[in-house]
Amino acid sequence: MFLEQFPVEGRANGWIEVICGSMFSGKTEELIRRIRRAEFANQALLLFKPKIDNRFSDNHVVSHKGSSFEAVIVAASDDILSAWNGEKIIAIDEAQFFDAAIVKVCNHLANQGVRVIVAGLDMDYQGNAFGPMPNLMAAAEYVTKVHAICVSCGNLAHYSQRTVQQTEQVLVGAIEKYRPLCRTCYQQK
């Protein structure tokens, strides 16, 4: 479990936290939990999501469980810096859909004293590293990997099996297109 550790009060330290895992593992739920705590403490924050992710809402990040939080929709990583007005917390959902510049953006914000919280899929449906996520995890001070439950056997799952025939890497969807599997069940697919 992620242990929230804050630098000495009054210092301008920023950092990057990455929440990663498969589909249905609770990444967005954990992201929303962390920003709700910050909101309760009256900390200025912004939540961003990529324009491509319009599954549940056009202007909110919504978890599969139904938790939601208002978000700024951006088409590219650099748009995050354009929208930033000095908030001390920047949260980013579905980071795997952003361009490679997201790593530079997150590092820039952290270097400015911002707590940056990022959530995204670490692997695509073929079990390969997804987009900028490996580089974000390498740059992060804290990485939390969350797991789903395998729908086939009930073990911990960290693969996202695609259940439709499309083969492009980016295919936005939910339970109608994906299901979580453990390593053994994924290998047997």
Higher-confidence residue of 3 and 44: namely 44
Residue 164: what pLDDT?
A: 72
Q: Which of 50, 55, 21, 16 is nearest to 124 (CA)?
A: 21
Q: What's the per-residue H, E or C state across 105-161?
A: HHHHHHHCCCEEEEEEECECCCCCECCCHHHHHHHCCEEEEECEECCCCCCEECEEE
Pairing of strands 89-92, 72-74: unpaired
Adjacent-strand bridge partners of 74: 50
Span 105-125, pLDDT tens digits:
999 999 999 999 999 999 999
Residue 129: CB atoms within 10 A of its CB come to: 14
**What is the amino acid identity at position 15?**
W
- In angstroms, the CA 172 to CA 2 distance is 27
Span 18-74, pLDDT tens digits:
999 998 999 999 999 999 999 999 999 999 998 876 665 567 566 556 566 678 999
- In angstroms, the CA 156 to CA 148 distance is 6
**What are the domain boundaries of the chain?**
15-146
- For residue 177, CA distances in Å to 44, 91, 166 come to 36, 26, 10
Q: Is the pLDDT of residue 127 over 60?
A: yes
Active site residues: 94
Confidence bin at 9 (pLDDT 50/70/90): very low
Domain 15-146 top-level CATH class: alpha beta
Confidence bin at 11 (pLDDT 50/70/90): low
- In angstroms, the CA 55 to CA 96 distance is 15
Adjacent-strand bridge partners of 135: none
Q: Tell me the average pLDDT across 125-141.
A: 96
